[in-house]
Structure 1
């Protein structure tokens, strides 16, 4: 996944498809779809040169087993999946899908559990939620997950928070808030007069 401090659109409503197509981000996270409309959505996003990563927990009519994941790759042409389910991510990798591991950072136990999962698996991209907790623990996250790309997500609603996230070293953010999508991308220190 190409992560250059992009704001990745997280599409939680199909009305957000067109705005997502207009962003410079090369990737979108699809949170709202079902097996009936997925193919058309993926075709539209691919037409706009977007890689499509689906949140498999939010896919209606889909079962995240080996056959379901093969179907996502071969029939629906999905580029990758986003999930907190390590078993599903491992199966997805065996189907040549890219994966993003969702780490819900709610306490030290969740961090330790995720660290153990990542020691046993090769997930190169991690989405850390919520973003405010990701910011508070950024040094520890960077130390533990030194070989992983970090994405901050959850409750990202303004440019000030995005700037703070990028300044701390995260490679990308994802947000379902359309108001932050058209901000300057890719983000760089020069854009902030530094």
Structure 2
């Protein structure tokens, strides 16, 4: 299966699922990468199977999945039994553990001010994830700064509202844009 970077070359738009009512639309969209931001212990395997059957890549936001402990055992279960293409988390310890388990890791950073920007850069440098998801993704200067400071690929997410936001994020150095907005999936 093609990895994240290969798929981004084909289409830099990542479909994010915040509500399972979006699943069918995502499966029929041109997006090859899916960020799963919802689900629970009972439906995760079925969701993963449906996404894989469509030949799409699945990245699970472990912090947002209900019914799983956000510790070693829950993470290990998901990696070994659900077999996602990667794990998304805002927790440094889960980035490190995911990498130890051989998973592709995306560190999710919420940038709200200069303090969270600086601590986020320090977190990236210490954990060395495979990629970083920056929220909100409509901050070109922040995207540029984080990439220059860390040299880790950036995915812009959150508050991406139109094609201009997509273009600005990509032009500022993001390798991809993630959105739950169906209109963005078809740009």
TM-score, length-normalised on structure 2? 0.90
Q: Write out aligned runs for 1:1-194 (5 A).
A: 1-2=4-5, 3-4=8-9, 6-133=12-139, 135-146=140-151, 148-183=152-187
In structure 1, stretches of 5+ residues that fail to align are: 184-194
Q: Compare CA radii of gyration and give the structure with the larger one.
A: 1
Higher relative contact order (Cα pairs below 8 Å, separated by 6+ residues): 1
Contact residue 35 and residue 61 of structure 2 kept, 8 A: yes
Higher helix share: 2
Contact residue 39 and residue 77 of structure 1 kept, 8 A: no
Mean Cα displacement is larger for which, 85-94 or 74-83?
A: 74-83
CA distance in 2, matches of 1:101, 1:46: 23
TM-score, length-normalised on structure 1? 0.87
In the TM superposition, residue 95 of structure 1 has moved relative to its aligned partner by 1.5
CA RMSD across the alignment:
1.4
In structure 2, stretches of 5+ residues that fail to align are: none
Aligned to 1:189: none
